[in-house]
Amino acid sequence: MDNKKSIKIGFTCITFCLIGLALVPAATADDDGGYKFDWQWYTTDHIGEYSKAPSGYSYVVATIYIKNDGIKLISTNPFYWSLIVDGIKYIPDAATYDSPLHHQNVNVMTGGETETSIVFLVKGKPHMVKLKYDELLGPTLTRISHYDHSNEYRDGSSY
Q: What is the pairing mode between strands 35-44 and 142-143? A: parallel
Rounded CA separation 147/38 (Å): 7
Each residue's pLDDT tens digit, 76-115: 999 999 999 999 999 999 999 998 888 999 999 999 999 9
Residue 69: count of CB within 10 angstroms of its CB? 14
Put simply, whether the predicted model's pTM sits higher than 0.85 gets the answer no
* Segments in the chain below pLDDT 50: 21-30, 151-159
Query: What pLDDT, on a 0 to 100 scale, did the predictor assign at position 36?
Result: 95
Q: Are the beta carbons of 68 and 34 closer than 8 angstroms?
A: yes
